[in-house]
Structure 1
């Protein structure tokens, strides 16, 4: 339930209207709560504040905040469009979820609602002497907060939607997903044998889309209730369709039982798009898309592809690191078998597109070989095998694309260095 709740909270964070709504409600509530200061009978102890001075401040905030909020929305929409056009539409969710921009917009709208409600309350004589003083102090605080937020937000919006900032956000999301999967490579279940074909009653999807999240705890409860074992054949990021089995059920006696699979299907959350949190490979795919767009003839930006090769080396090096026992999640679900992600699949997601699209650019092909050589030197046999395979594939593509013999010789020499790399 914790993972499912976290997943839905992250989806709420991607909704641009949630924080402004919360700030607006809180602003209106605070205006009315200020009335409680009048009940404290401290009117003789506070300085006298004229209604006109408060109304002037509130009028300034009311007149400016709506315009600033409109400007903020326009700037954010432009940043979102820039991220989609310059990077990839798959990065849109990360840009929308930017906390600084959402907080700025929420502050501007909340200040507008606060000033309107407070101005109406003042016009109707809602406050006493102490209440007016409290409202005056709070209005000054709101005005200060708006100014500070606007100055910080201008600096932030100048970077939001820029290509490098988008790449950094995708890398951060991919690194977080990789770290979670490193700590729980089987999602809390037991390892499933990849080589063995799952046997038993299949659980098929009744929806078409991508597996976004799996409630392994719910599957464990179903398995304990029915006294069966469940082997997952679909992980977050898998495309589900009616003919695609999500899991297989086998009984303790190794025979197939005709069980109701409705509750098991409900444990698989399926949607139209892949999500970053539970799907480490998706971050690699999105970064590869950005690199592919940068290498297109219309953009012709090999520097971005070279930078992303470095990002891939960082992410895959993180993936290869052994997990400390204190960070590793214990096996909680002994009746659920889950296949681990393979290094080969992750290398395919990361390097295939760059090797294909950058084969004709010596700077990209050379940096790719250097990056793969770095990964091949890591003390991890699966990682080394995948790096060597992609080094040879990239070399084969370069041999078909590069026309200058000197360029081709450089790539061959670098590929030879990759083949000779030894684990450190």
Structure 2
């Protein structure tokens, strides 16, 4: 897809990826630093020099020399500390959380400030030694240098507090929860991604196949609408963000009305599905649930044996599903401009499978985790949301059956059964297995 074909959503998705690149903000700060030095020369043209204090070039150059040498050391130290935090997050939590740790605003702003201050000092020192400034320009450059010093000190103090927490388990869990909550809010506001509901009992039509292996990261519904507008065709999306794609796997189905002119560009339709090697949090709420479940699974492994972290994750999942159940002012997608693009809604049962299936399996032998799971399902079953209530009841029964098979002490089993009996109606038939 050419750049001119990109819609607003596609461009915003690409810009959000820049937050995960460590070079983006330092590059901007370098440009701003160089621009600030040369803007100081404007003071020689417009500022009344006779009213400004005279700044000696030697004193300013000494100050800039100290700043340049110290900023390089601090920037190197910052990079080493951030790399250590990234490695800690990948080892203690899960490698899937790496992108969120890299995108930490405080750390990126700190690194950008240190590098920007270094570039500012080098450029300003070179310009001053070559007589680039007059009296007003030297005073302006001195004021800018003091301002840069103040910004560096404040940034360093704030960054030290942040780097002490970055990469720790609690900080990583909070980052994943925050990213998942944002993805859920976006999906709640646009449950059909800007399209319309799928029509039941409709013929599939012509399959639009993927051309590469990877995960669907973003679906440009606006581009799909634009491709089908002239021919009055309809598109049924079957690969939502997070779906695995491969050559021969359908991303969508194209339906042409009888007798319509077939001028739909299939390549543009396929290009509307952005496929990458990894799943992204932005448009994929289920990915955040999977990552949280993986963190809990690692905590419950025999090598770590940390049920407390798994219990914290259970509380996080309850908060996220409670947010999902809150009523939102959803966009009236049926009356929107993308009326030719049919998109399926997220299934709550699938979200519960992502969040709780592996957690209930790995924590079945821990009475603390099993009790917390039953309490979590009880809380979710009390939400005013029928799909969540049904999914909570199903997973509560399944988790109870897993615990019965895994717990060695009969007293633990009776305690768990008594807790479940307070709210869960036990069916006569065996519990329905969780879908894969």
Query: 2:52 aligned with 1:46, yes or no?
Result: yes
The alpha-carbon deviation at position 210 of structure 1 amounts to 0.3
CA distance in 2, matches of 1:27, 1:365: 56
CA distance in 2, matches of 1:322, 1:140: 50
Partner residue of 1:391? 396
What per-residue deviation string (whole Å, max 9, x for no partner) do you get for residues 91-128 of structure 1? 11111111111110010001011111111111111111
Which of residues 242, 249, 261 is equivalent to 2:247?
242
What per-residue deviation string (whole Å, max 9, x for no partner) do you get for residues 319-349 of structure 1? 1222236x66653311111110001000000
TM-score (norm 1): 0.95
Query: 2:406 aligned with 1:401, yes or no?
Result: yes
Whether the aligned pair in 2 keeps the contact of 1:391 and 1:418 (CA below 8 Å) is no
Query: 2:149 aligned with 1:143, yes or no?
Result: yes
Whether the aligned pair in 2 keeps the contact of 1:293 and 1:299 (CA below 8 Å) is yes
Which of residues 117, 120, 130 is equivalent to 1:114?
120
Which of residues 255, 267, 279 is equivalent to 1:274?
279
Whether the aligned pair in 2 keeps the contact of 1:201 and 1:257 (CA below 8 Å) is no
What per-residue deviation string (whole Å, max 9, x for no partner) do you get for residues 232-262 of structure 1? 1110000001121111111234999796521
CA distance in 1, matches of 2:50, 2:266: 72
Q: How does 1:242-391 map to 2 (within 5 A)?
A: 242-253=247-258, 260-324=265-329, 331-391=336-396
Long gaps (5+) in structure 2? 1-6, 427-436
The alpha-carbon deviation at position 198 of structure 1 amounts to 5.2
What secondary structure is seen at the aligned counterpart in 2 of 1:225?
coil
Change (3 A) 1:256 1:212: farther
Which of residues 72, 84, 88 is equivalent to 2:94?
88
Change (3 A) 1:198 1:359: farther
Query: 2:122 aligned with 1:134, yes or no?
Result: no
Long gaps (5+) in structure 1? none
CA distance in 1, matches of 2:203, 2:420: 38
Whether the aligned pair in 1 keeps the contact of 2:227 and 2:265 (CA below 8 Å) is no
CA distance in 2, matches of 1:156, 1:198: 55
Whether the aligned pair in 2 keeps the contact of 1:373 and 1:417 (CA below 8 Å) is no
Change (3 A) 1:148 1:328: farther
Partner residue of 1:213? 218
Q: How many residues align?
A: 419
What per-residue deviation string (whole Å, max 9, x for no partner) do you get for residues 14-70 of structure 1? 110011111112111211121111112522111111111101110110110000000
Whether the aligned pair in 1 keeps the contact of 2:231 and 2:262 (CA below 8 Å) is no
Whether the aligned pair in 2 keeps the contact of 1:376 and 1:418 (CA below 8 Å) is no
CA distance in 1, matches of 2:378, 2:347: 19
RMSD (Å), alpha carbons? 1.8
CA distance in 1, matches of 2:311, 2:47: 68
What secondary structure is seen at the aligned counterpart in 2 of 1:270?
strand
The alpha-carbon deviation at position 354 of structure 1 amounts to 0.8
Change (3 A) 1:399 1:196: farther
TM-score (norm 2): 0.93
Partner residue of 2:433? none
CA distance in 1, matches of 2:273, 2:70: 47
